[in-house]
């Protein structure tokens, strides 16, 4: 799921940003804090911690969860979201 839907924009390597930030080590981190990435003001100001619940809400409806985010791709399937979140949980910085 990650490879087919997320990897085009996001890297899984720490410090490697694409058109979207690296997702290495993001579980448990604060929104808008990946080094070297220019986040939208909305993401910087969201002040949320990326836990399973917040990732699920964001992946289901990014602009509905953080109004003004630049992310526009969503994952409507709960199973797909849970699979992506489980994969992200394994990525270390």
Domain ranges of the chain: 2-90
Angstrom distances, CA of residue 32 to CA of 4, 19, 38, 50, 80: 24, 14, 8, 10, 23
Using DSSP's 3-state secondary structure scheme, residue 29 falls into coil
Span 15-25, pLDDT tens digits: 999 999 999 99
Span 35-80, pLDDT tens digits: 999 999 999 999 999 999 999 999 999 999 999 999 999 999 999 9
Model-level pTM? Answer: 0.94
Range 2-90: architecture per CATH: Orthogonal Bundle (1.10)
Task: Region of 17 please: left (phi>0), alpha (psi -120 to 50) or beta.
Answer: beta
């Amino acid at each position: 799921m990650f490879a087919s839907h997320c990897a085009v924009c996001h890297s899984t390597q720490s410090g490697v940003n694409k058109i979207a930030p690296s997702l290495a080590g993001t579980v448990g981190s604060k929104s808008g804090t990946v080094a070297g990435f220019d986040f939208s003001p909305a993401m910087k100001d969201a002040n949320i911690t990326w836990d399973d619940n917040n990732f699920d809400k964001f992946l289901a409806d990014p602009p509905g969860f953080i109004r003004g985010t630049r992310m526009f791709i969503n994952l409507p399937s709960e199973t797909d979201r849970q699979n992506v979140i489980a994969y992200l949980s394994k990525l270390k910085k």
